[in-house]
Amino acid sequence: MAETLQVNLGARSYPIHFGSDLTEAVRAAVAAKLAEGAKVAVLTDRNLATQQAAALAAMFGDVPRHIVAAGEESKSLGELGGVLDFLAENKLDRGGVLFAVGGGVIGDLGGFAAASWLRGIAFVQVPTTLLAMVDSSVGGKTGINIAAGKNLVGAFHQPRAVYVATGLLATLPEREFAAGMAEVIKYGLLGDGALFAELEAKPLAAGDPRLAEVVRRCCAAKARIVEADEFETAKEGGRALLNLGHTFGHAIENAAGYGEYLHGEAVAIGLAAAARLSLKLGYLRGDDVARTESVALAHGLPVRLRAPLAYGELLAAMGRDKKVRAGGLRFVVLRRLGEAATQSAVPPELVAASFREVGAA
């Protein structure tokens, strides 16, 4: 029996369904929409279409599919146009539903296409990567990247439902699983010290029996944060806390070129930089930084850049980040392991030193 967690957002509320295999549940949801006379379509990527062909067929039958290349490069204006053309060709009207089946790229791209098509149609998330399951599929942030920065073009558009089937992780490459663990570690650092301690005591692997519960735990944490600050408008804290490590990480992705680092790999380096910044601000001790980096390394994640990136380029990318307010950067820092806070007016020399300690030139 699948378990369900409700994200409470008034008229935009929706369930997150959990289970090892949710094929029947997704198939039933598709059948119900088709029985109503609604148009249904699927967005997925080439890797999933090949590796999970049987699962896709079982869930969606002959529902029209649009397949894009796997990877961050697909979060682009060009691919967005392709999805919109696909929706037009298949005559999805305002009662239509787009199922986004894949990782964070597919969820972000599909969600933004759904938000844009006819000024907003329904979409459903079926995340297939660990990163998407614990983070990007929940909360309604959708968008694409442009040359100026990551996720600068997008919309808040909540899904109608999320189906988290952990059995789909069986074909996930080790590198992609590790990338998802960066977001799990983030949740431990920002508000669940017990989770961080558990990961520190015993790293989480793909076949670990603890995995399903950890996924639910992360989704519950994000749901509660989103409920309190859906549109990230809180002056301090709130949904912005979910950006721990991301101001650094997004700059790395932008400066290195999208696709050079997986999102989770850039976030892991960002977590190391955020911990070092927190040390310089007087919140953490040196052993806290070492513990943060050790947990990341134990889960196969980098904590240093593979090759130097010019700090000037990284700084310029941070300056274009959507978390900039009144012309100033706002960072998420760690008051202690398990407690995060937002902080503005951070001395730029501390930011530079933190970035250089993780490999910036």
CA distances from 11 to 47, 96, 235 (A): 35, 18, 24
Q: Are 308 and 359 in contact (CB under 8 A)?
A: yes
Q: Is 238 helix (H, G, I), strand (E, B) or coil?
A: helix
H/E stretch holding 329 reads: none
pLDDT band at 70 (very low <50, low <70, confident <90, very high): very high
How many DSSP H helices and E strands does the chain contain? 14, 11
Query: Closest by alpha carbon to 107, among 120, 91, 123, 122?
Result: 123
Q: Residue 44: how many CB atoms within 10 A of its CB?
A: 24
Q: Is 262 helix (H, G, I), strand (E, B) or coil?
A: coil
Q: How far, in Å, CA of 38 to CA of 359, rounded?
A: 52
Structure-block tokens of residue 30: 């598709």
Q: Is 7 helix (H, G, I), strand (E, B) or coil?
A: strand
> What average pLDDT does the structure give for the chain?
96
Give mean pLDDT, residues 52-74: 97
pLDDT in tens, 83-137: 999 999 999 999 999 999 999 999 999 999 999 999 999 999 999 999 999 999 9
Q: Does residue 187 have a pLDDT over 50? A: yes
Residues of the chain with CATH 3.40.50.1970: 3-171
Residue that the structure tokens 């009207």 belong to = 93
Query: Closest by alpha carbon to 170, among 21, 3, 301, 302?
Result: 21
> What is the DSSP code (8-state) at residue 308?
-
Bridge partners, residue 155, by sequence: 142
Q: Residue 151: how many CB atoms within 10 A of its CB?
A: 19
Q: What pLDDT does 326 receive?
A: 64
Query: Closest by alpha carbon to 270, among 321, 231, 219?
Result: 321
Q: Does residue 266 have a pLDDT over 50? A: yes
Q: What pLDDT does 111 receive?
A: 98
Q: How far, in Å, CA of 139 to CA of 133, rounded?
A: 11
Residue that the structure tokens 């309604």 belong to = 140
Q: What pLDDT does 120 receive?
A: 98
Residues of the chain with CATH 1.20.1090.10: 174-357
Q: What pLDDT does 1 receive?
A: 45
Q: Which CATH architecture has domain 174-357?
A: Up-down Bundle (1.20)
Give mean pLDDT, residues 164-171: 94
Q: How far, in Å, CA of 181 to CA of 176, rounded?
A: 9
Per CATH, domain 3-171 is 3.50.50.60: no
Instruction: Name the burial class of residue 313, with classes exposed (0-12), middle (13-18) and buried (19+) by CB atoms within 10 angstroms of its CB.
Output: middle
CA distances from 336 to 191, 208, 247 (A): 10, 28, 19
pLDDT in tens, 238-250: 999 999 999 999 9
Q: Do the bridges between strand 14-19 and strand 161-165 make them parallel or antiparallel, or are there none, so unpaired?
A: parallel
Query: Closest by alpha carbon to 67, among 105, 30, 23?
Result: 105
Q: How far, in Å, CA of 203 to CA of 299, rounded?
A: 6
Q: Are 165 and 137 in contact (CB under 8 A)?
A: no
Q: What pLDDT does 154 receive?
A: 98
pTM of the prediction?
A: 0.96
* Separation of first and last alpha carbons in the chain: 52
Q: What pLDDT does 2 receive?
A: 66
